[in-house]
């Protein structure tokens, strides 16, 4: 009976999560492109050899990692500050929390183009400010060196509220008595942050890190609309490259290989990160 309740949901998840991975594994050992008339033809490990030697793939791996690491770090730092602010008691806190949640709730594509307008040269407000303080023209969206920062800003704007909520939930589990006792002992509030808040918040920090890193590694919507991967491929992410391979170059075998390769790298780095955390003993206080 229990199984009967579970079966529909499990079958659907197996179809949507499981089947694609099997299909990619199979496709990655086949040529399936315009050249083969879109009919899969086994080609041994040719796709994988091509991936290993594909400079664009490795450049995208670096760019995607840079994007993920920098934006998630910035989000975490900002979210911590905002959560500390929202954890205090003041009037209108609920309304402010709702308003700060808005960027997270809007579709990414919608505000991605909004940001393009803000970063626009010469008409956007950013250029106006830069010109006013004598920095302009920035030409942010046309500079292969700096455009990735625009994608980071837009991502930080959108996803900081998510981490803020997680950290806020964590802060609210810390008993106020702890702080009172600490103050009685003559501790200063900055020390309380270091000695009480951060250690007790660590599980929540790690959790949001894990979740956001995995999501940021798959970044697609934001980049596709904000920069299209440009200028000169300098903001292209792995997911966007896989998308181009499938939808623009119609090379499905290689697209599958790119996605599987990216996924393997992501899983490997998460495993290594978890292992390093465990070895370093940072998680010891969390274990029962």
Round to whole Å and give the CA distance between 78 and 91: 22
Rule CB under 8 A: choose which of 118, 202, 205, 283 binds other proteins: 118
| Residue 225 binds to other proteins (criterion: CB under 8 A) | yes
Identify the residue among 34, 41, 42, 113 touching other proteins (CB under 8 A). Answer: 113
**69 CB-near residues (< 8 Å, 6+ apart):** 213
- Give the number of other CB atoms < 10 A from CB of residue 275: 10
**Binder of other proteins out of 49, 110, 250, 282 (CB under 8 A):** 110
Per-residue x/- track, 148-167, other proteins (CB under 8 A): ---------x---xx--xx-
C-beta of 247 vs 277, nearer to other proteins: 247
In the complex, least distance from residue 116 CB atom to other proteins, rounded to whole angstroms: 7
* Distance of closest approach, residue 185 Cβ to other proteins, in angstroms: 26
Q: How far is the CB of 253 from other proteins (least distance, A)?
A: 10
- Is 221 a residue that touches other proteins (CB under 8 A)? yes
Count of residues near other proteins by CB under 8 A: 84
54 binds other proteins, rule: CB under 8 A: no
Task: Tell me how far, at minimum, the Cβ of 170 lies from other proteins, in Å.
Answer: 8
Interface with other proteins (CB under 8 A), residue from 34, 42, 135, 247: 247
What is the sign, positive or negative, of the torsion defined by CA atoms of 172, 209, 23, 268? negative
Report the alpha-carbon distance of residue 101 to residue 150 in Å, rounded: 21
* 1 in contact with other proteins (CB under 8 A): yes
- CA dist., res. 149 & res. 121, Å (int): 15
Tell me which of 31, 33, 76, 115 binds other proteins, using CB under 8 A. Answer: 115
Tell me the closest approach of the beta carbon of residue 45 to other proteins, in angstroms. 20
Q: Could you tell me the smallest distance in angstroms from the CB atom of residue 175 to other proteins?
A: 17
Closest to other proteins by CB, 148 or 204: 204
Site string (6-25) toward other proteins, x via CB under 8 A: x-xxx-xx-xxx-xxx-xx-
Q: Are 240 and 220 in contact (CB under 8 A)?
A: yes
Q: Which is nearer to other proteins, 179 or 211 (CB)?
A: 211
Between 6 and 53, name the residue whose CB sits nearer to other proteins: 6
Nearer to other proteins, 41 or 181 (CB): 41
What part of residues 199-218 is at the interface with other proteins (CB under 8 A)?
204, 207-208, 210-211, 214-215, 217-218
């Amino acid at each position: 009976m229990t199984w009967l309740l579970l079966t529909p949901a499990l079958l659907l998840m197996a179809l949507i999560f499981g089947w694609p991975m099997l299909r990619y594994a199979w496709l990655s050992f086949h040529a399936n492109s315009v050249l083969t008339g879109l009919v899969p033809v086994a080609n041994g490990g040719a796709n994988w050899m091509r991936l290993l030697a594909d400079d664009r793939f490795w450049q995208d791996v670096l760019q995607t990692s840079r994007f993920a690491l920098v934006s998630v770090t910035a989000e975490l730092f900002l979210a911590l500050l905002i959560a500390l602010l929202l954890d205090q008691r003041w009037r209108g806190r609920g309304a402010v929390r709702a308003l700060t949640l808005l960027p997270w709730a809007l579709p990414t594509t919608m505000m991605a183009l909004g940001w393009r307008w803000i970063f626009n040269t010469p008409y956007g407000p950013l250029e106006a400010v830069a010109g006013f303080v004598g920095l302009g023209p920035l030409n942010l969206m046309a500079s292969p060196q700096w455009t990735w920062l625009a994608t980071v800003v837009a991502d930080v704007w959108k996803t900081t509220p998510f981490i803020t909520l997680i950290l806020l939930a964590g802060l609210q589990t810390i008993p106020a008595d702890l702080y009172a006792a600490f103050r009685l002992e003559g501790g200063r509030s900055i020390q309380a942050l270091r000695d009480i808040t951060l250690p007790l918040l660590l599980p929540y920090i790690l959790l949001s890190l894990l979740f956001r890193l995995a999501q940021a590694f798959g970044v697609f919507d934001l980049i596709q609309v904000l920069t299209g991967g440009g200028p000169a491929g300098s903001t292209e992410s792995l997911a966007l490259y896989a998308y181009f391979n499938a939808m623009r170059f119609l090379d499905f075998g290689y697209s599958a290989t790119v996605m599987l390769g990216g996924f393997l790298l992501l899983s490997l780095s998460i495993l290594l990160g978890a292992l390093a955390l465990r070895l370093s003993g940072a998680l010891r206080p969390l274990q029962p």
